[in-house]
Amino acid sequence: MTHHLQPRGRRVKVLATLGPASDSEAMIGALLEAGADAFRVNMSHGTPESRGAFIAAIRAVEKSHGKPLTILADLQGPKLRVGRFAGGSAMLENGARFRFDRSETPGDGTRVVLPHKELFAALQPGARLLVDDGKLVLRVKSVAPDAIDCIVEVGGKISDNKGVNVPDVVVPLPALTPKDRADLTFALEHGVDWIGLSFVQRPEDVAEARQLIGGKAALLAKIEKPAALERLAEILELADAVMVARGDLGVELPPQQVPPAQKRIVAMARALGKPVVVATQMLESMILSPSPTRAEVSDVATAIYDGADAVMLSAESAAGKFPVEAVSMMDAIAREVEADPGYFGRVHYTGLAAGETTADAMSEAAASISRTIGAKAIVCFTISGSTARRAARHRAAVPVLCLTPRIATARRMGLVWGVNAVVTRDVAGFEEMVEKAKRMALRTRLAKGGDAIVLIAGVPFSTPGTTNVVHVVRLTGQELAGH
């Protein structure tokens, strides 16, 4: 039974968030069939038991479908919140004075506790506090060790535990809270493939998380703070991938600044050969409606035209009424965009920083050769996955088939553009590698008799980081006989 080996026939990947609307093996299987390539488990919600159940269900579906599946565990990060109010809420009028303090007395229309002592030192007069996803805007007038006095610029109802964003300062908070550290340990023990790091402000945040992960999973840095945009190149150097987290970014930046920021993040990630995920509100109306707005369809298409590696669904697949339809819609948009004759021209619009290494030269050559001779696939043997990621970086016009002996390497490929991963036994020599590449190209139906494929590999074998061979082979169609 080899149906599971057949690739999807599209390059961009679909990342679906799991939640109450998609918490059974049957439903995860349905999302996979509809087009999901990777699954996000949000560590902010649920109990350790429920998150463990999600991970076990994904692995059960992986087993029944015979296809490596990717799990991203998304850490919550430090959420800044106001305290509680005497009546559960209060109304703030425009132009009124309001104070955030350290007193545990329930709040009212003039004050409330802000249980984050770090903010009292960090905030300066003139800085803004945005409450409840930016619905309320307060500007700091003066700061004392235990009181922040503000003027209400945009008033409204403020209620218990609403979130606070402070876009104008780098908050002296680590990206990992004690809860995140516990969640991280849990996620690594349960064998997830990617860790999503929230609230990244500085490269140091990524370095610290890297150290804690210790190579057990790949690290995706979520760009949701203006401070991160200022140090994007350094953050990208340290992360394995990035996410354009447009929800929080759109609270902290004026909304009109989010599209240029998205383009910049996608272009820089691509230039550095790091996968980039575009996320949040992509098909938001499909939470309640079976069809999206035209603007949402256009938004998803734009991310794909820009060459994003993956597009993500949040509440649409986690809590909405139409999770399978939302995934199908993403899949349909992606196929349509990739079928556009102008697509590859658009995707190659981003210039790549020339890699210095032999491996970079090899993957660039493979992409170029496959174009010239009309090859049907680029096949690479890789242990760590770096060869496949390099080939993906060149956005070759043909699919990349990644053959790896490591299931962990195959699973990580679920966020990488155009890569189809298959777990296969390691090869001992060059001839064996060529034979296996031919067999797998036929078996996955990426190529048939008479087609050419381009191989990238490293000799000697099983030595990571030695990509030094590009080899062209033509298939006879007889390769599957006797296997």
SS (H, E, C) 300-319: HHHHHHCCCCEEEECHHHHC
Does 51 qualify as catalytic in the annotation? no
**Which tokens belong to 426?**
């390691």
Catalytic residue among 10, 11, 13, 40: 40
Catalytic residue among 81, 102, 135, 445: 81
Q: Which residue has the tokens 């007038």?
A: 141
Catalytic residue among 280, 409, 444, 467: 280
Would you say 240 and 272 are in contact if contact means Cβ atoms under 8 Å apart?
no
Does 412 qualify as catalytic in the annotation? no
CATH superfamily of 358-474: Pyruvate kinase, C-terminal domain (3.40.1380.20)
DSSP 36-59: --EEEEETTSS-HHHHHHHHHHHH
Helices (H), 309-357: 315-318, 323-339, 343-347
**Rounded CA gap, 15 and 39, in Å?**
6
Neighbours of 141 (CB within 10 A): 14
Instruction: Output the pLDDT for position 2.
Output: 36
CATH class of the domain defined by 89-165: mainly beta
DSSP 247-290: HHHHHHS-GGGHHHHHHHHHHHHHHTT--EEEESSTTGGGGT-S
Q: What is the 3-state secondary structure (H, E, C) of 423-440?
A: ECCCCCCHHHHHHHHHHH
Instruction: Output the pLDDT for position 458.
Output: 83
The model's pTM is 0.93
Helices (H), 66-143: 117-122
**How confident is the prediction along the chain (483 residues), in pLDDT tens digits per residue?**
334 567 888 999 999 999 999 999 999 999 999 999 999 999 999 899 999 999 999 999 999 999 999 999 999 999 899 999 999 999 999 999 999 999 999 999 999 999 999 999 999 999 999 999 999 999 999 999 999 999 999 999 999 999 999 999 998 899 999 999 999 999 999 999 999 999 999 999 999 999 999 999 999 999 999 999 999 999 999 999 999 999 899 999 999 999 999 999 999 999 888 999 999 999 999 999 999 999 999 999 999 999 999 999 999 999 999 999 999 999 999 999 999 999 988 887 556 665 678 888 888 899 999 999 999 999 999 999 988 998 888 888 899 999 999 999 999 999 999 999 999 998 888 899 999 999 999 999 999 999 999 999 888 776 777 788 899 999 987 776 644
**Which tokens belong to 237?**
């150097």
Cis omega (within 30 of 0) on the bond before 460?
yes
What φ, ψ does residue 157 adopt, rounded to 5°?
-90, 130
**Rounded CA gap, 281 and 246, in Å?**
8
Neighbours of 319 (CB within 10 A): 16
CATH 3.40.1380.20 domain span(s) along the chain: 358-474
**Rounded to 10 degrees, what is the CA torsion of 226, 230, 236, 237?**
-150
Would you say 94 and 121 are in contact if contact means Cβ atoms under 8 Å apart?
no
Element containing residue 227 per DSSP (H, E): helix 226-230
CATH class of the domain defined by 3-77+175-341: alpha beta
**Rounded CA gap, 290 and 325, in Å?**
7
**Rounded CA gap, 376 and 370, in Å?**
7
Provide the pairing of β-strand 136-144 with 128-131.
antiparallel
Catalytic residue among 222, 225, 246, 376: 222
Instruction: Output the pLDDT for position 482.
Output: 47
Burial call 434-461: b when 16+ CB within 10 Å, e when fewer: bebbbebbbbbebbeeebbbbbbbbeeb
Would you say 60 and 353 are in contact if contact means Cβ atoms under 8 Å apart?
no
**Which amino acid does the sequence have at 192?**
V
Would you say 75 and 43 are in contact if contact means Cβ atoms under 8 Å apart?
yes
Q: Tell me the C-alpha to C-alpha distance, in Å, between residue 123 and each of 129, 141, 146.
A: 9, 10, 12
Would you say 128 and 166 are in contact if contact means Cβ atoms under 8 Å apart?
yes
Does 280 qualify as catalytic in the annotation? yes
Does 40 qualify as catalytic in the annotation? yes
CATH 3.20.20.60 domain span(s) along the chain: 3-77+175-341
**Which tokens belong to 30?**
């349905």
Instruction: Output the pLDDT for position 480.
Output: 67
Q: Tell me the C-alpha to C-alpha distance, in Å, between residue 112 and each of 148, 171, 224, 472.
A: 10, 20, 26, 69
CATH 2.40.33.10 domain span(s) along the chain: 89-165
Provide the pairing of β-strand 97-101 with 147-154.
antiparallel
**Rounded CA gap, 196 and 221, in Å?**
6
DSSP 67: S
**Rounded CA gap, 5 and 446, in Å?**
10
